[in-house]
């Protein structure tokens, strides 16, 4: 039972870390995406996920990687965002990939509008001394889209096959 709980919390913990890291530093460390991939593989083995299902999950992640790296190549998103989306796509599989991408798009749009609005406001003096707040407030800074990607992943995760397999064990 304790192992099941740890397994179920693995993905949310990494998503939270990715979101916080992106908010504070505008980077998502490669180790987060690599840990998500390794964690999925380990869970698939531990839960006895059928090989065909495993292959489809990996294909979903590969598809997302091709799309997001194209977006990265054209400068629309960051490399960390591309890798995080692809690693999350593995966990979603094709069955929940569309929902994940829709949620990420909606959450990303809301986040972007909120940050753009906040950038029109004058920051209190104390907030200008907090480096990540000042950076997010600067009009030339990007948007930490990892927050939206992580939030969308957390919304979809309880419905995914890996959740069902772990919860049933």
pLDDT average per 10 residues of sequence, the chain (169 residues): 80 98 97 97 92 97 98 95 98 97 98 96 91 92 96 96 80
Q: What is the pLDDT of residue 5?
A: 81
Between the two ends of the chain, the Cα-to-Cα distance in Å is 9
Q: Minimal CA–CA distance to 141: which of 166, 112, 110?
A: 112
Q: What is the pLDDT of residue 164?
A: 83
Which DSSP string do the residues of 23-44 spell out, in sequence order?
HHHS---HHHHHHHHHHHHHHH
Q: What is the pLDDT of residue 1?
A: 61
Residue 65 CA from chain centroid, whole number: 13
Domain that holds residue 14: 2-168
Q: What is the pLDDT of residue 162?
A: 84
CB atoms within 10 A of CB 67: 15
Q: What is the pLDDT of residue 144?
A: 97
Domain count, the chain: 1
State how far the Cα of 150 lies from the Cα of 155, in Å rounded to an integer.
Answer: 9
Q: What pTM was computed for the model?
A: 0.93
Q: Minimal CA–CA distance to 80: which of 148, 160, 136?
A: 148
């Amino acid at each position: 039972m304790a192992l099941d709980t740890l397994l179920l919390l693995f993905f949310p913990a990494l998503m939270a870390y990715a979101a916080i890291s992106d908010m504070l530093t505008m980077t998502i460390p490669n180790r987060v995406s690599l840990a998500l991939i390794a964690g999925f593989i380990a869970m698939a083995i531990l839960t006895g996920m059928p090989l065909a299902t495993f292959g489809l999950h990996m294909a979903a992640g590969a598809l997302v990687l091709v799309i997001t790296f194209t977006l990265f190549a054209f400068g629309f998103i960051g490399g960390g965002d591309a890798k995080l989306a692809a690693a999350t796509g593995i966990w979603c599989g094709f069955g929940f990939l569309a929902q994940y991408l829709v949620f990420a798009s909606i959450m990303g749009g809301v986040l972007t509008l909120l940050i753009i609005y906040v950038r029109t406001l004058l920051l209190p003096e104390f907030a200008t001394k907090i480096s990540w707040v000042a950076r997010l407030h600067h009009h030339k800074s990007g948007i930490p889209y990892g927050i939206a990607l992580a939030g969308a992943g957390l919304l979809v995760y309880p419905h995914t096959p890996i959740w069902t397999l772990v919860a049933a064990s």
